[in-house]
Structure 1
Amino acid sequence: MTASILDAMHAAGLAPHKALELREDGKLTRYRVQGDKAGSRNGWAVVYSHPIHSGAFGSWKTGATHTWRETTSKTQTPAERAELQRQLKAMRAARDAERDKVQAEARARAAKLWGRARPATNMHPYLQRKGVGAYGIRQMRELLLIPARDSHGDLQTLQFIGEDGAKRFLSGGRIAGCYCPIGRPVDSLLICEGYATGATLYAATGRAVAVCFSAGNLQPVARALRMKFPRLRLILCADNDQKTPGNPGLTHATQAARAVGGFVAVPRFDGGTHA
């Protein structure tokens, strides 16, 4: 049985990094997804054996969730269908409880690291290379610490940026709907993907910025900020990934703007092209 759900995990791009034995008792199993960094356990799976083999799996890193059940020609009784629905609810509850636990642990680690770090200076090699300032960020040894806060201002997790520009997040932390704030909004708020872009926008315009860290997080952040600031003009400052199929930067920014009644801004360079 477990071979079948493992096949489904492979097909969904959530294959375990190494051989994984799944319990069939409805208990959640955490695992490292193939391709994730060493030491991480972003993958999760829950499996039941009765009334039919079924389960669910996903990734807290990507937010993906999938359900699976064995193929059978047997007609299910009303009681069996009711049991499957109960199990599905239990799977979701187990997933959410474990996610909340993992995120709480990450919040505690983030707070401890943030408290130990010193304010970053503009002399950090990454900031020097990008030509941007250090706005509300900190530094621990060679790493910049970029805070990811929710709309209440609570620190949820951290992004680390090395001197060479390599980026990673604190394992297990919540990213969805979280952002790094730069400045205080007055009549408008700029929303963008990366810290260097946000710092550039703030220096150039003097307007407050929310750094979302990724294209996929633009809409969750925009929605959270619309709830917090119902009258502000929200401007989605898109990365124009014109060389990437589907142009995810511009696509996600446009979708986010539509969702919150905002605007989209795209930089224009010499020759009238966008980037």
Structure 2
Amino acid sequence: MVTPSTQEKARLGGRADVGAASVAGAEYSTIEHALSDALAAHGITGLAIRADGGIHRFDSADKPKGNRNGWYVCPTLEVAVYGFWHTGEQHTITTGGKADPAAAAETRLAYQRAREQREAERRAQQARTAEQARRWWAAAGAADPNHPYLTKKRLAPYGLRQRDTMLLVPLFHDGELVNLERIYPHGAKKALFGGRAKGVASLVGSLASADRVLVAEGWATAAALHEAMGVPVVVARNADNLEPVARRLRQRLPDDVTITIAADDDRFTEGNPGATKARLAALAIGAKVLMPTFCPGCARCTDFADVALCRKERVA
């Protein structure tokens, strides 16, 4: 097992550890062997290490197969750098028992190269996904009002299309269709693989001549709010995306258009991410937060779509 000693920590978008690779005080004869042992400490085994100066990707052990969150590069035959994109970890090991300025410099260069390659791969995949989204959207038909998900939620298919049994929610960025969220009959939701996620949004209703706009997480919540209040509602998809979407919306809309963040109340989840992220988004643009009101003793509802459905069921 490799125990790198921390000689230098640099903020390179993650943690950078530059140190020696050794077992029982002995030095390694090859960087391949040193790196193989270092990765084994993270549960990564069976890789054919290539010390060719290229950037190589591999699956991290704590994510599903095919995640390719791990990376390594051997810029020289004495230095190896590896890390994990999803955690921000980065480590450097050497064959010798002592780190030096040259190893630190190689670390910085290797990380920069890895980051640039990853960014290029990400942009290329996003472009492919956007093209797929546009093809699917163009070929899709109008959503069936009797789709099981719509029937369950008792909602009209505002702005949706359908491909086979999947409802399609269009996701836009700067006015361009870049991704689709698929809603399956049983309610599962999933965007297309590799598509842009941050800052993407959909819309229920029309922004034309609107003097008030709401921003909500999910499509069903947005549809329920639009149905109840008659105002356009922007769909951010999840709590983490509320702030990026709200910021962009505030930039695009006239100052006299009021933006309100309609929060999910994740009251049964630790930290209540729905309410917490909604408040942060509102604070970022100087907006107010709208919270759902539940029936006394309700232990089921968490968002406006739940509340709307609950009220419809009581009336029925």
Bin for the TM-score computed over the shorter chain? 0.7 to 0.9
Distance in 1, Cα, partners of 2:212 & 2:222: 14
Distance in 1, Cα, partners of 2:103 & 2:110: 10
Cα deviation 1:11-42 (Å, max 9, x = unaligned):
xxxxx8x9655644332426487554x7x546
Taking structure 1 as reference, are residues 174 and 21 closer, same or farther at Cα in structure 2, changes over 3 Å only?
Answer: farther
Distance in 1, Cα, partners of 2:41 & 2:283: 38
- Greater alpha carbon shift after TM alignment, 40-49 vs 110-119: 40-49
Which AA in structure 2 matches 1:165?
Answer: G
Question: Within the alignment, does 1:198 sit opposite 2:226 as a pair?
Answer: no
Tell me, yes or no, if the aligned pair for 2:264 and 2:274 is still in contact at 8 Å.
yes
Give the structure 1 partner of residue 278 of structure 2: 253
Tell me, yes or no, if the aligned pair for 1:158 and 1:169 is still in contact at 8 Å.
yes
Taking structure 1 as reference, are residues 107 and 124 closer, same or farther at Cα in structure 2, changes over 3 Å only?
Answer: same
Question: Within the alignment, does 1:48 sit opposite 2:74 as a pair?
Answer: yes
Tell me, yes or no, if the aligned pair for 1:157 and 1:174 is still in contact at 8 Å.
yes
Percentage of pairs with the same residue: 33
Taking structure 1 as reference, are residues 80 and 33 closer, same or farther at Cα in structure 2, changes over 3 Å only?
Answer: closer
Distance in 1, Cα, partners of 2:104 & 2:91: 15
TM-score, with length taken from structure 2: 0.73
Taking structure 1 as reference, are residues 266 and 114 closer, same or farther at Cα in structure 2, changes over 3 Å only?
Answer: same
Cα deviation 1:71-129 (Å, max 9, x = unaligned):
8862412x443332222221211110010011111111111111111011322111111
Which AA in structure 2 matches 1:47?
Answer: V
Which AA in structure 2 matches 1:193?
Answer: E
Question: Within the alignment, does 1:166 sit opposite 2:191 as a pair?
Answer: no
- Greater alpha carbon shift after TM alignment, 41-50 vs 186-195: 41-50
Distance in 2, Cα, partners of 1:254 & 1:41: 32
Tell me, yes or no, if the aligned pair for 1:22 and 1:29 is still in contact at 8 Å.
no
Tell me, yes or no, if the aligned pair for 2:92 and 2:107 is still in contact at 8 Å.
no
Which AA in structure 2 matches 1:221?
Answer: V
Which AA in structure 2 matches 1:161?
Answer: I
Distance in 2, Cα, partners of 1:256 & 1:204: 23
Tell me, yes or no, if the aligned pair for 2:79 and 2:106 is still in contact at 8 Å.
no
Taking structure 1 as reference, are residues 75 and 28 closer, same or farther at Cα in structure 2, changes over 3 Å only?
Answer: closer
In the TM superposition, what is the alpha-carbon distance from 1:177 to its structure 2 partner? 0.4
Which AA in structure 2 matches 1:45?
Answer: W
Taking structure 1 as reference, are residues 32 and 7 closer, same or farther at Cα in structure 2, changes over 3 Å only?
Answer: closer
Matches within 5 A, 1:1-275: 1-5=35-39, 7-8=41-42, 21=48, 23-24=50-51, 25-29=53-57, 31=59, 36=64, 41=67, 43-50=69-76, 52-59=79-86, 65-70=88-93, 74-77=98-101, 79-150=102-173, 152-185=174-207, 186-229=210-253, 231=255, 232-271=257-296, 275=302
Distance in 1, Cα, partners of 2:148 & 2:60: 32
Taking structure 1 as reference, are residues 158 and 3 closer, same or farther at Cα in structure 2, changes over 3 Å only?
Answer: farther
Structure 1: 5+ residue stretches without partners? 11-15
Distance in 2, Cα, partners of 1:3 & 1:234: 54
Tell me, yes or no, if the aligned pair for 1:5 and 1:68 is still in contact at 8 Å.
no
Tell me, yes or no, if the aligned pair for 1:189 and 1:207 is still in contact at 8 Å.
yes
TM-score, with length taken from structure 1: 0.83
Distance in 1, Cα, partners of 2:246 & 2:261: 8
Tell me, yes or no, if the aligned pair for 2:263 and 2:290 is still in contact at 8 Å.
yes
Tell me, yes or no, if the aligned pair for 1:126 and 1:163 is still in contact at 8 Å.
yes
Distance in 1, Cα, partners of 2:68 & 2:249: 27
Taking structure 1 as reference, are residues 255 and 21 closer, same or farther at Cα in structure 2, changes over 3 Å only?
Answer: farther
Distance in 2, Cα, partners of 1:272 & 1:189: 31
User: In structure 1, the residue corresponding to 2:228 is in which secondary structure?
Assistant: helix
Taking structure 1 as reference, are residues 118 and 30 closer, same or farther at Cα in structure 2, changes over 3 Å only?
Answer: farther
Distance in 1, Cα, partners of 2:132 & 2:238: 22
Give the structure 1 partner of residue 32 of structure 2: none
Tell me, yes or no, if the aligned pair for 2:36 and 2:49 is still in contact at 8 Å.
yes
- Greater alpha carbon shift after TM alignment, 43-52 vs 163-172: 43-52
User: In structure 1, the residue corresponding to 2:151 is in which secondary structure?
Assistant: helix
Cα RMSD of the aligned pairs, angstroms, is 2.7
